[in-house]
Amino acid sequence: MRNSVSITSSFYDFIKDKLREVRPKRANLAQRRSKSNFSTSESIFLSIEMTVDIPLVNGTSECTVTAYSKDTYQSAVDFYAQFLQLEQESAAGTSTFLRNSNVALEVVLVEDSKKHAASEERLQKLTSSLETADWRSLVSDSLVFKAVDVAQCKANLEEQKASYQAYPTDLFPMELYAVDPVGNVVGVTKTKNAVSAMPTAPPASKGSFTSTAPSSAQSTIDLTSAGSMSISDSLTAEPKGSEQKAIAVMTSGGDAPGMNANVRAIVRTAISKGCRAYVVMEGYEGLVRGGPEYIKQFNWEDVRGWSSEGGTNIGTARCMEFRERAGRLLGALHLIEAGVDALIVCGGDGSLTGADLFRSEWPSLLEELRDTGKITSEQYTRYKHLNICGTVGSIDNDMSTTDATIGAYSSLDRICRAIDYIEATANSHSRAFVVEVMGRNCGWLALMAGIATTADYILIPEKPASSREWQDQMCDIVSKHRSRGKRTTIVVVAEGAIANDLTPISPNDVHKVLVDRLGLDTRVTTLGHVQRGGTAVAYDRILATLQGVEAVNAVLESSPDTPSPLIAINENKITRKSLVDSVRLTKSVAEAIHAKDFKKAMSLRDTEFVEHLNNFMAVNSADHNPPKLPQEKRLKIAIVNVGAPAGGINSAVYSMATYCMSQGHRPYAIYNGWSGLARHESVRSLDWKSMLGWQSRGGSEIGTNRVTPEEADIGMIAYYFQKYQFDGLMIVGGFEAFVSLHQLERARENYPAFRIPMVLIPATLSNNVPGTEYSLGTDTALNALMDYCDVIKQSAASTRGTAFVVDVQGGNSGFLATNASLAVGAQVSYVPEEGISLEQLSEDIETLRESFETAQGRNRFGKLILKSKNASKVFTPEVLAEVMTSEAKGSFSAKSAIPGHVQQGGLPSPIDRTRATRLAIKAVGYIEQQQEVIAKARADDEEFDPDNKEISATAAVLGIKGSHVVFSSIRQIYDFETEVVKRMPKVIHWESTRAIADSLVGRKKV
């Protein structure tokens, strides 16, 4: 065991040195004795040095505060007596002594007009910078007391109506700072050291961690084992008795990006829960062959770095033997010989069908093995039940009951990148391209690629037409696009595309039609296995990891009577479904297609698939066909971007405008945000041709800034709303957009022009908008940050023994750092919700040192530390790197890395593009639905009630919560679910993801 005292001592010495560099001209308090005289020209500093040299908390020290006028003298006495709950022990004419059982403080009067004026000037400067600066950064020193109850100190200040700054949050302050009447910065803290920042909420109880909030991972993670097990312990962990569980994982069927992340999560979660972890090499073939060569026990380090690797490192192969009972009998024997209790299979519907059949036959297989003498009666009793769980790894996304399969969005990313590249050369030559993508029985890839790249036409197996019909439809839409000035034509064909007589439609068939009937210069591109290759995108890494954790939970919680579960995702929530039911529904789609029952096939697809298909057809037709709505129902709908740029903003604008055109509405764009409207009347009607290419562009084509309506001139904004007679408004943006919607809704009473349906689509990489668990731009930012970290990690691994401290954006939100940590396997992530305590930092350095010393040779991979910009104002990435290098004592070195605005991403990811389309069309639908409600409110101005719930609900945030897409009233969310000062929701929905990320890297939390 390490000497924690000596480490801590040197640690504090190093921190003191770094703080002296940060704050020059600091007085040398180490030379001061138990009684110190502080003047206003030198405000009081007792933080690190106080902890070491002047322990105010032990009751033996005194400090003196000097006032320079009678008024400030008496005010200072009253301030300290109430703030720190000190009692007046004695008072002379120019001196008052205050104390409690731990602290003694003397307030002294020395009348001096010049010094009094200087203290007043400093007091004014500090109070005026309450909202704009950290008081500790404006003074050289500050007095900090150790407090038992910071909340009570806060209440004392509020009773005095005194200003204060709380860290990390106002809700659960661990540090609290105020300015005394003399102009000194005075603080109280729960921590042992004043510069630390502990978690914002009471710590979770020992044992299991369960999020109380809706989360993308509804898993219960038992951290007891992980918390007490060091890296070296995990490498040499022995079975804890004969009843220790053994969990095996295998990948089967076609490979998919993200499978390695899934295996890594399963192996490490099993180990952290005290189980033995096994991998079955080469899929079902490994089960049939058996032996230690094919069924291997894995330890913690065996899967290090797997998250960033493509394909499947444990192999996959098709096995004809396993389709026969004799093969399954061998598989059962080999699992028992290895001592495996549970099996997790990552694969497609065929692989999962085999897994469920294997479980259903398990009792009879064991009986046969016992009767033939191949296993003993003890083994028969011990392994009588086999728990099986499925995680879906398939690029086709063809599994029913789940919104996404592992690898599907990585494949879609490859397709969209390829089409983006093709679009450039097509535009240069005014060509048509026919792009063939994978999807034998499922057109999901072709459909989503069509939406994400604004393809002219798609051909998928779920919605076939006669040979004549599809040719006519395709030529009609392509002709209309070309006649309106479009120079490119993109047709996406799924490999399983068919006509309604089941005749296959090949890319060459499409090529022939485009050439013969339209005379277009046409090329065919078959992407092939490029779609399977490469590393997984961030979404697939995170999905695979969360599903792997949940799979281990599922097999450990399963009983002999529990149906085999399949781990799925619905919207933003990890769920468990019946494996056999999911497989049955999936096979039913293919059977319905082969039976030419296409209506049934479509009905068996998830509602989201049908929704996307309808959206594609509506957006693709734009103003080329007669409007769907009658004249009296057509509206004027405006859209505005507010906040920082984020991936998917342009997709939302494009989709909103084109869908409005297909409905018959007239779409308007407010350029350059509220300031553009108030100053320049920057309102333009959107037309189809001018928006070509917007779907795949980053940034904001209509401009954006952070100005809110009240800052821009809300009266002028109301005037222009009235002038253009808008019937609805869509706001796309981050927290400033959220505040904008709140201001417009509250202004309805005074400005009738705002009495229209208004919808906010959250778009910010911080993902800090209350009312949703997902914001446009977060996926693009995660991919950009992940790519950056992968490159940095490669550099660190090449030089051996190097760790990089990466600076992560996100404001006061730790979402980006938390999820990036999960995606890249970062050893540590620091977020504003928790802050950086010296105790935790010391523990993290020790864990890193141990990890580097344990790994040998090639396996000494580089490591990453992710630090949110607002996690600490003192510990910058540069300071953190220096601290870690110094404390590592030669075990490793640390460097800082600043990706900066690279994190805002380049081209939006397919997820942000397609979700932007989906949310924008839902928002337009909501505006249409609320017209009747708002019409009643506008009919009688005198009877308008802004507090009516039905009316206030017409200003809503469109968000994803758990497994649902919901519209939430802005008034409800702003008033009850928002921490406005911190620009954050009160409930942190990614809380459980942090526990998973820490558990999977063996991080020990203090």
The catalytic residues are: 396
Does the annotation place 994 within a ligand binding site? no
- The CB density around residue 371, as the number of other CB atoms within 10 Å, is 10
Phi-psi region of 152 (alpha: psi -120 to 50; beta: other; left: phi over 0): alpha
Kindly write down the DSSP assignment for every residue of 671-724, as one continuous string.
Answer: TTHHHHHHHH--EEE--TGGGTTGGG--S-TT--BS--HHHH-HHHHHHHHHHH
Does the annotation place 241 within a ligand binding site? no
For residues 713 and 274, what is the distance between their CA atoms, to the nearest angstrom?
61
Does the annotation place 334 within a ligand binding site? no
Does the annotation place 71 within a ligand binding site? no
Does the annotation place 748 within a ligand binding site? no
Does the annotation place 870 within a ligand binding site? no
Does the annotation place 394 within a ligand binding site? yes
Phi, psi of 412 (to 5 degrees): -60, -35
**Which of 999, 987, 1006 shows the shortest CA–CA distance to 215?**
987
Does the annotation place 431 within a ligand binding site? yes
Does the annotation place 468 within a ligand binding site? no
Q: Are strands 62-67 and 104-109 parallel, antiparallel or unpaired?
A: parallel
Does the annotation place 349 within a ligand binding site? yes
Does the annotation place 768 within a ligand binding site? yes
Does the annotation place 605 within a ligand binding site? no
Does the annotation place 929 within a ligand binding site? no
Q: Name every residue whose Cβ is closer than 8 Å to that of residue 124 and which is 6 or more positions away in sequence.
A: none
Does the annotation place 2 within a ligand binding site? no
Give the CA distances from residue 829 to residues 47, 823, 867, 868, 994, in Å, rounded to whole numbers and listed in that order: 25, 12, 6, 8, 9
SS3 of 644, please? coil
Does the annotation place 794 within a ligand binding site? no
Q: Is the dihedral angle over the CA atoms 673, 678, 680, 686 positive or is it negative? A: positive
Q: Is the dihedral angle over the CA atoms 427, 429, 430, 436 positive or is it negative? A: negative
For residues 712 and 736, what is the distance between their CA atoms, to the nearest angstrom?
12
Does the annotation place 529 within a ligand binding site? yes
Half-sphere exposure (Cβ direction) of 720: Cα atoms closer than 13 Å: 22
Does the annotation place 152 within a ligand binding site? no
Does the annotation place 901 within a ligand binding site? yes
Q: Is the dihedral angle over the CA atoms 746, 750, 755, 760 positive or is it negative? A: negative
Does the annotation place 809 within a ligand binding site? yes
Does the annotation place 778 within a ligand binding site? no
Q: Omega before 181 cis (within 30°)?
A: no
**Which of 585, 989, 927, 605 shows the shortest CA–CA distance to 768?**
989
**Which of 1005, 1006, 1000, 993 shows the shortest CA–CA distance to 271?**
1000
Does the annotation place 604 within a ligand binding site? no
Does the annotation place 706 within a ligand binding site? yes
Q: Name every residue whose Cβ is closer than 8 Å to that of residue 949 and which is 6 or more positions away in sequence.
A: 969
Does the annotation place 442 within a ligand binding site? no
**Which of 278, 267, 271 shows the shortest CA–CA distance to 228?**
271
Q: Are strands 728-733 and 636-642 parallel, antiparallel or unpaired?
A: parallel
The number of residues in the chain equals: 1006
Q: Are strands 489-494 and 984-985 parallel, antiparallel or unpaired?
A: unpaired
Does the annotation place 532 within a ligand binding site? yes
**Residue 79, Cβ density class (10 Å: 0-12 exposed, 13-18 middle, ≥19 buried):** buried
Does the annotation place 764 within a ligand binding site? yes
Half-sphere exposure (Cβ direction) of 444: Cα atoms closer than 13 Å: 26
Q: Name every residue whose Cβ is closer than 8 Å to that of residue 924 and which is 6 or more positions away in sequence.
A: 637, 656, 659, 660, 663, 665, 728, 730
Q: What is the edge-to-edge ordering of all strands in the sheet holding 432-437?
A: 457-459, 489-494, 432-437, 522-526
Does the annotation place 318 within a ligand binding site? yes
**Which of 400, 830, 455, 423 shows the shortest CA–CA distance to 578?**
400
Does the annotation place 750 within a ligand binding site? no
For residues 110 and 39, what is the distance between their CA atoms, to the nearest angstrom?
10
Does the annotation place 350 within a ligand binding site? yes
Pair 235, 301: CB distance under 8 Å: yes
Half-sphere exposure (Cβ direction) of 150: Cα atoms closer than 13 Å: 29
Does the annotation place 765 within a ligand binding site? yes
For residues 100 and 111, what is the distance between their CA atoms, to the nearest angstrom?
27
Does the annotation place 958 within a ligand binding site? no
Does the annotation place 289 within a ligand binding site? no
Q: Which residues are annotated as a binding site for Mg(2+)?
A: 349
Q: Which residues are annotated as a binding site for beta-D-fructose 2,6-bisphosphate?
A: 706, 764-768, 809-811, 895, 901-904, 983
Q: Which residues are annotated as a binding site for ATP?
A: 254, 318-319, 348-351
Q: Which residues are annotated as a binding site for substrate?
A: 394-396, 431, 438-440, 495, 523, 529-532
Q: Which residues are annotated as a binding site?
A: 254, 318-319, 348-351, 394-396, 431, 438-440, 495, 523, 529-532, 706, 764-768, 809-811, 895, 901-904, 983
